[in-house]
Amino acid sequence: MRPRIAALDFARGIAIFGILLLNISAFGLPKAAYLNPAYAGQPSATDAWTWAVLDILAQGKFLMMFAMLFGAGLQMLLPRGKAWIQSRLSLLLLCGLIHAVFFWDGDILLAYGLIGLVFWRLVREAKSNQSLFRTGMVLYLIGVGILMMLGLISTAKPDSFWQPDFAELQYEQFWRLKGGVEAINNRLDLLSSSLISVAVQYGWELGGAMLMGASLMRSGWLKGQFNVRHYLGVAAVMLPLSWIIQIPAVVIAWQTGWDYRWSGFYLQAPREIGALMQAVGYLALCYGLWPQLVKQRWVIWMSQVGRMALTNYLLQTLVCTFFFNSLGFYQHFSRLQLVALVPAVWAVNLAITLLWLRHFRQGPMEWLWRKLTAKAAGEA
């Protein structure tokens, strides 16, 4: 087993925890609420401000951060060969499919596995680190461009995904709380829409971020081989610049009342560009501050969370679906109240991680994933 990079595990743990800041609204509110705070009419000032702050600091940032780290993992797996990589990604895809159909419609594992299967060869075949990074950037910008084109051809009237009517909101509450076959059928419908989105637009961005992450790993950047001044310099440039790009888009979205075409497409484009820049900035900050951070106990704990990233991601689903669906707390909280619940889920993640890694070297899902990959690749 290859030696672990503690700073990389720390960044992965930060990404897993950060993703929940947005996912919590997808667990506790209708699906339309994830991107549109005005899904059910004009939101309260508290809800609007909560949306704005999360959009600037978290929306898309931790997903892109995790995608880059996923690409870095693909680069590290290249020595294992084609059979191992394809088996590993196929099993992740299968895990994501099970997760999306039987547990939660907000799954990202299927998309990561699918895009990984499509793009890992580009990582392997890249002639240089620079060409790999440029290819990733071009793919990401193509995704942003497609988003703008979709805005041009979309109707001005919002669809039910952006602004559902009362009956649709009631039905969504019904099947989420009821579960069973009704919920599975609806999750299958949402999965088909999600796959279309990945194929048409989001997959370009996801693949681009993965290639850039692979490039950063190949160059040694994600191994922590650059000096502290470099990392802090990157963070000092990327973070303010990303906010300069994003904040006006967030303000205009608010001023237009989260208009479907503007907020969902045109104004989403600069936020997507800013999200990638901010993800790089967050990673740079993790590495730049690492010499000071590594001395703190909570940072070691966060690194252990990153070691069990797959387990902790799925654990968040189990905790949140149990609380919101099984216990019936779905649509009982405002957006700000949902964010206030996030530390409780983090605490569960952290407690189980520390307890498990006290006795085992890997998380349970990581162990199973590795074992099944070995069998599928013909190594066991």
CA–CA gap between residue 322 and residue 27 (Å, rounded)? 10
> Is residue 1 one of the residues assigned to a domain?
no
Q: Rounded CA gap, 304 and 309, in Å? A: 9
Q: Determine the pLDDT at residue 101.
A: 96
**Domain span at residue 372?**
6-376
Tell me the C-alpha to C-alpha distance, in Å, between residue 138 and each of 160, 205, 272: 32, 9, 14
Residue 202 lies in a domain: yes
- pLDDT at 349 (0 to 100): 97
Instruction: Please write the tens of the pLDDT for every residue from 168-181.
Output: 999 999 999 999 99
Greatest C-alpha distance within the chain: 59
Residue 4 neighbours by CB under 8 Å, 6+ apart: 307
**pLDDT at res. 4:** 75
8 Å CB contact between 302 and 16? no
Domain count, the chain: 1
**Separation CA 132–CA 319 (nearest Å):** 38
- Answer yes or no: is pLDDT of 20 > 70: yes
Q: pTM of the entire structure?
A: 0.94
The answer to whether residue 86 is domain-embedded is yes
**Is residue 80 assigned to a domain?**
yes
**pLDDT tens digits, one per residue of 199-254:** 999 999 999 999 999 999 999 999 999 999 999 999 999 999 999 999 999 999 99
Residue 306 has what pLDDT? Answer: 96
**Under a CB-based contact definition with an 8 Å cutoff, are residues 147 and 265 in contact?**
yes
Structure confidence by residue, pLDDT tens digits, 132-171? 999 999 999 999 999 999 999 887 677 678 889 999 999 9
List own/partner pairs for 261-266 with CB under 8 A and 24 or more apart.
261/151, 261/154, 261/156, 263/35, 263/36, 264/35, 264/36, 264/151, 264/154, 264/158, 264/162, 265/147, 265/148, 265/150, 265/151, 265/154, 266/148, 266/151
What tens digit of pLDDT does each residue of 298-326 get? 999 999 999 999 999 999 999 999 999 99
Measured distance between the N- and C-terminal CA atoms of the chain, rounded to whole angstroms: 15
* Alpha helices (H) along the chain: 6-28, 45-57, 61-77, 82-102, 109-125, 129-153, 166-178, 180-197, 203-218, 228-255, 260-261, 268-288, 290-293, 297-307, 309-321, 335-357, 364-376
Q: What pairs with residue 39 in β-bridges?
A: 41
Do the domain assignments include residue 182? Answer: yes
What does the alpha-carbon distance between residue 75 and residue 223 come to, in Å, rounded to a whole number? 12
- Does residue 333 lie in a domain region? yes
Distance of CA 237 to the CA centre of its chain: 23
Q: Among the listed ranges 30-39, 227-236, 279-288, 350-359, which one has the minimum average pLDDT value?
A: 30-39
Residue 293 has pLDDT above 60, yes or no: yes
99-119 b/e (C-beta count within 10 Å ≥ 16 → b): bbbebbbbbbbbbbbbbbbeb
The answer as to whether 362 is a domain residue is: yes
Contact 58, 21 (CB under 8 A): yes
Helices (H), ranges, 219-308 = 228-255, 260-261, 268-288, 290-293, 297-307
